[in-house]
Amino acid sequence: MLDEGEIARLFQGAVGVVLPSLSYETFGYVALESFSVETPVIARRLGALVEVVEESGGGLLFETTDELVDSIRRLMDDPALRRELGRRGREAVETRWSEQVQLDKYLNLVRALAGAERVSASARASATVRAAEA
């Protein structure tokens, strides 16, 4: 088993990382590992990988073997495209999927729900008082 640093070094030296998933994945963590070192991905147009690639702009999608081969050739033949996709992927990791971004979103949701619960409890108490006074 490789540690995080070894995986990063392998991805960093790659033209791209191919994600040939045959089943629906819930989230493409391998894509984020690749993006984090500015390496684009080539993912099968299936499941959550489609959303990860499209939202990030950090890779290419394929459905057929011919499309996969074409995508690999595009990345091999076009270093500027490879750099741009890698840059977009890295930016998406930092602005959408980093631990800090996700933690902030989670805590904001908890705060919003807690605030809504306080407002709701306060409204119920006010309604109870009004009903008692009537």
What would the pLDDT profile of 11-29 be if each residue is shown by its tens digit?
998 999 999 988 887 788 8
In whole angstroms, give the CA distance from residue 56 to residue 40.
10
Indicate the helix (H) or strand (E) that contains 57. none
Residues 104 and 48 reside in one and the same domain: no
Q: Which long-range contacts (CB under 8 A, 24 or more apart) does 76-82 make?
A: 76/15, 82/15, 82/16, 82/40
Which domain does 77 fall in, by range? 4-95
Q: How many domains does the chain contain in total?
A: 2
Q: Is it the case that residue 123 has pLDDT exceeding 80?
A: no
Sheet holding 41-44, edge to edge: 17-19, 41-44, 59-62
Terminal C-alpha separation, the chain: 71
Q: What is the pLDDT of residue 25?
A: 77
**Shared-domain flag, residues 55 and 83:** yes
* Pair 44, 61: CB distance under 8 Å: yes
Q: In terms of domains, do 130 and 86 share one?
A: no
Distance of CA 94 to the CA centre of its chain: 10
Per-residue pLDDT at 132 exceeds 70? no
Cα–Cα distance list, 121 to 78, 108, 112, 126 (Å): 60, 20, 14, 9
Which region among 67-71, 98-102, 122-126 has the lowest average model confidence (pLDDT)? 122-126
Same domain flag for 69 and 107? no
Q: Are residues 121 and 67 in the same domain?
A: no
Cite the DSSP H helix spans in 13-98.
29-36, 48-56, 65-77, 79-92
Same domain, 41 and 75: yes
* 33 lies in the same domain as 82: yes
Task: State the CATH number of the domain containing residue 14.
Answer: 3.40.50.2000
- Asked if residue 112 and residue 90 are part of one domain, the reply reads no
124: pLDDT strictly greater than 80:
no
* pLDDT band at 100; cut points 50, 70, 90: very high
Q: How far apart are CA 58 and CA 62, in angstroms?
A: 14
